[in-house]
Structure 1
Amino acid sequence: MAEKLIIFDTTLRDGEQSPGASMTKEEKRRIARQLERMRVDVIEAGFAASSEGDFQAVHAIAGEVKESIVCSLARANERDISRAAEALRPAGRFRIHTFIATSALHMEKKLRMSPEQVYEQARQAVRLARRFTDDVEFSPEDGSRSDMDFLCRVLEGVIDEGATTINVPDTVGYAVPEGYAALIRELRERIPNSDRAVFSVHCHDDLGLAVANSLAAVKSGGARQIECAVNGLGERAGNTALEEVVMALKTRRDYFGLDVGIDASQIVATSQMVSEITGFAVQPNKAIVGANAFAHASGIHQDGVLKARDTYEIMRAQDVGWSANKIVLGKLSGRTAFKQRLSELGVAIESDAELNAAFVRFKALADREAVISDDALVGLVR
């Protein structure tokens, strides 16, 4: 049996950090229920200490979600961790995710703390979180830009304190796939107690590499959890897109050799719910969930797909929740697709000559109009 990759969804926490994507408690509850329906392993419900509203949302979700692990983010201090634990108390299974920055830049400019102070605070935070739960995740913020020796020391320390998941964030989207995979691999090899924790990745898309970095870290680095968000929602350019990593792992299971527990047939419904609630439209050519992801406009592609779907589709539209793929008739379409659509509309073609004449009229119309209605198609023949 193949190993399972853990899908950790942060739509409700990091996703909400997209400017303008704020959600109400009820909206978060709706999304959390849908994430559970999709069988997400871990739902990061929010940052309980950040506001009373977020506390209440995490608390409500913790009381409703039964199958997924519910998680709250917490800075590496007593107030945040205690607040997270209080919000998560109703959950059957919950995780506290605590973090502190470890890069020289962040420690000096943002935290104004010495490396030794950061090291001690990281250990203390995990020690405190373990009072509330055995499921503790630790993240060294800006991990991809941290000194390797210091990063190893911090992560060894927090694992000693009981951290069960080690998440190494590419907080500013600086990493590239080969280097990020090597980072995760080196950490796992150098840290003596690394076998006591699951290694996780959290990538941002500032260079458009979040999905590539996450998958490289899984394949070559040995990470076994990916943190991601529906529609790639998140701070700045966004997070790793859940739908993309899930379908990459499912479609190329021959390459990755890992199982994911996600019910992929719920992906489109989840994407559409998140888009509706946040007001963030999904671009038409977005992989998996974009309106054009399974649409074919080229005559060559249409001809192939109508003869055998897998000539131009590596996934079935239905597998991710679309009702079907789409053949879009336009100026690039050929006779095969034109004839097929007429047949679907119940229009009988008496002869090749009649088809050819109607097709000529169709091409002339398609040069003038980008969208051709079914009524207009029928009118070309009758």
Structure 2
Amino acid sequence: MNDGIDGVVRIFDTTLRDGEQAPGINLNTAEKLQIARQLAQLKVDVIEAGFPAASPGDLEAVKAIASEVKGSVVAGLARTRKGDIDAAWEAVRSAEHPRIHVFIATSDIHMEHKLKMSRQQVLDEVRNAVAYAKGFTDDVEFSAEDASRSDPAFLIQVFKVAAECGATTLNIPDTVGYAIPQEFAAFVKEIIDGVGTPPGVIWSVHCHNDLGLAVANSLAAVQSGVRQVEGTINGLGERAGNASLEEVIMALKTRKDRFGLSTNIDTTKLYSVSRLVSRLTGVAVPPNKAVVGDNAFSHEAGIHQHGILCNRATYEIMKPEDVGAPGTRLVLGKHSGHHAFRQRLEELGYSLSEEELRKAFAVFKELCDRKEVVTDGDLEALVVDEILGKTANHDYELRHFEVHVGSRGATATVTLWDGEQERYDAATGNGPINAAYSAIRRITGLSPELVSFRLQAVSEHSDALGEAVVVLKDGESTAQGRGASTDVIEASIKAYVNALNRLRHRAAQKEVVVR
């Protein structure tokens, strides 16, 4: 890892923490490990793996990532409470490079209405928390939540205290996406000049996208001396999301003439990581998304096509291969072998264990009997639904279903395995999916609210897998489920069952969502 302060901008990825806080996203440990593995291959400097104090499940996921991922720093987020810091250390202590990331709000509006604390109380919290975290590890990051709306003089005080107590990274967040680039650049410079840069300390920035300026503000901060940028793959996160790391990274690379800086990132992995995150979170990447969208390197207008044929640089400031955008695709079918199957999954950004690969290959062969060609979309849906989407052996699993549809409605009979025995029931509804969902509710005795339902083909082929994404809500908990099949009704039932299982796990863990 190159930690040069002057010439290198460190990339801090918070997809697994801030990104997962986006409504409707809840990743299980297997899915988080998939993303973390690919972030490490991307050569991200820091992976913020989660908020360990939020729930036992989050702590265990961070611990699993810390134990397995090598090369990158693995960070756990913590409020200034000792219990949070203890949980963060418990989660990251086995990491090759562990970090505790401590935060507290510093704006007057947050201190008055959320924290109910005075400025002196906040300063005391910072002093005690950073010193306490420093007792566990030398790598401690401190963040001043809502820094962009904080009084600069007080913020300088706060950061000085954090640095004196041993913080090695000082983070200036634009938590609510309020800043404007030119204004933010001046603000960041004022803070850095006021605090100075103690030996061994790196300044960081964490921008949200409420006004669509997260990337612009991050780059403005870099020009003011920041040498760590925090963000997420595809810009996921609370509300309108975070700075899109792929955009920050390629802006620094493409406009090195302007910034004179580099990153440690292997940019050829950006496209595959983007697709992986999109598939596992269920949040689609818009086709016009910068750097990784399907249209980022597409040209339809005649004059553009003519220019590209003459010289690609006429309309492309980046090369598709620079970000790993697809070129020639390997076509898989029933005659394909285990090696080709593994290779294509790796190219798509998936890293499976031998056991997971064996199960996936068996399902792939079954799918080949129903389809002439298995597309990349089919493969990804297969892996996510049949391998990574599973939660535990005692969860509900679809065994069989039948539907009968007529002009007056539909009837569905569903059979589920509950970990010990098969259970079945039937119900009617205004359509086959509605009837099937009613039958599942009768079997399980659970009646969560259906928040959203989405069904789409995973490729343009007529025999493509249908992928369903369902979001269920029970009280304050929400969970997203996915299902894929050549039969859209089966896909819809699988998605509902998957979401139901995730809700049950959340309830069992008594998860506390901390905003």
Question: Aligned equivalents of 1:323 and 1:117: distance in 2?
Answer: 53
> What is residue 202 of structure 2 aligned with on the other side?
198
Kindly indicate whether residue 279 of structure 2 is the aligned counterpart of residue 246 of structure 1: no
Aligned residues: 326
1:260 to 235, 260, 263: 263
Unmatched 5+ stretches in structure 1: 326-371, 374-382
Identify the residue that residue 271 of structure 1 maps to in structure 2. 274
Residue 324 of structure 1: how far off its partner (Å): 3.9
Runs of 4+ off more than 4 Å: 192-196
Q: In the TM superposition, what is the alpha-carbon distance from 1:259 to its structure 2 partner? A: 1.2
Aligned partner of 1:202: which letter? H
SS at match of 1:259: coil
Contact 1:156 1:194 in 2 (8 A): no
TM-score (norm 1): 0.84
Alignment partner of 1:226 is 2:224: no
Q: 1: CA distance between counterparts of 2:199 and 2:209?
A: 29
Listed as ranges, the matches of 1:31-180 within 5 Å are: 31-180=35-184
State how far apart, in whole Å, the 1-side matches of 2:33 and 2:206 are.
23
Quick one: structure 1 residues 259 and 193, their matched pair in 2 at CA, closer, same or farther if it must change by over 3 Å?
A: closer
CA distance in 1: counterparts of 2:325 and 2:193, whole angstroms? 42
2:242 match: secondary structure: coil
Q: What is the distance in 2 between the residues matched to 1:193 and 1:26?
A: 39
| Paired position in structure 1 for 2:286 | 283
Corresponding residue number in structure 1 for 2:412: none
Matched residue, 1:207 = 211
3-state SS of 2:289 partner: coil
- The question of whether the paired residues in 2 share the 8 Å contact of 1:156 and 1:193 is answered with no
Q: CA contact under 8 A between 1:159 and 1:196: conserved in structure 2?
A: no
| In 1, Cα distance between equivalents of 2:308 and 2:235 | 29
Unaligned segments of structure 2, at least 5 residues: 329-459, 462-515
Q: Deviations over 1:51-108 (max 9, x none)?
A: 0010000000000011100001000110000110011111111110000000000000
The answer to whether 1:16 aligns with 2:20 is yes
Which whole-Å CA distance do the structure 1 matches of 2:204 and 2:299 have between them? 37
State the 1:188 CA deviation.
1.2
Q: Tell me the equivalent position of 1:297.
A: 300
Q: How far does residue 192 in structure 1 lie from its aligned partner after superposition?
A: 4.5
What secondary structure is seen at the aligned counterpart in 2 of 1:74? strand
Deviation at 1:323, TM superposition (A): 2.5
Aligned counterparts of 2:259 and 2:167: Cα–Cα separation in 1: 26
1:225 maps to a residue whose letter is: Q
Whole-angstrom distance in 1 between the partners of 2:279 and 2:140: 33
Deviations 1:253-295, CA, capped at 9 Å, x for gaps = 1111111011011001000000000000000000011100000
Structure 1 residue identity aligned to 2:285: V
1:314 aligns with 2:317: yes
Identity of aligned pairs, percent?
Answer: 57
Instruction: Give CA-to-partner distance per residue, 1:184-212, whole Å, 9 cap, x none.
Output: 11111111454552110000000000000
- Name the structure with the higher strand share: 2
Determine the C-alpha separation between the residues in 1 that align with 2:171 and 2:137. Answer: 17
Are the aligned partners of 1:72 and 1:96 in contact in 2 as well (CA < 8 Å)? yes
SS in 2 for 1:70: strand
When you count helix as a share of all residues, which structure comes out higher? 1
Which moved further from structure 2: 87-96 or 200-209? 87-96
SS in structure 2 of the partner of residue 277 of structure 1: helix
Cα-to-partner distance string for 1:342-367 (whole Å, 9 max, x where unaligned)? xxxxxxxxxxxxxxxxxxxxxxxxxx
Q: Secondary structure at the match of 1:133?
A: coil
Amino acid in structure 2 at the alignment position of 1:277: L
Q: What is the SS of the residue equivalent to 2:313? A: helix
After TM superposition, give the deviation of residue 242 of structure 1 in Å.
Answer: 0.7
Paired with 1:31 and 1:197, the residues of 2 have a C-alpha distance of: 28
Give, as a single letter, the amino acid of the residue that structure 2 aligns with 1:211.
V
The match for 1:181 among 173, 179, 185 is: 185
Is the Cα contact below 8 Å between 1:188 and 1:194 reproduced in 2? no
SS, match of residue 75 in structure 2: strand
Q: Secondary structure at 1:260's aligned position in 2?
A: coil
1:30 aligns with 2:34: yes
Q: Letter of the 1:281 partner, please give it.
A: A
The AA in structure 1 aligned to 2:129 is A
Contact 1:269 1:321 in 2 (8 A): yes
Q: Secondary structure at the match of 1:28?
A: helix
Question: Displacement of 1:224 after TM fit?
Answer: 0.3
Letter aligned with residue 75 of structure 1: R
Counterpart-to-counterpart distance in 1, 2:36 and 2:127:
31
Q: Quote the offset at 1:217 in angstroms.
A: 0.5
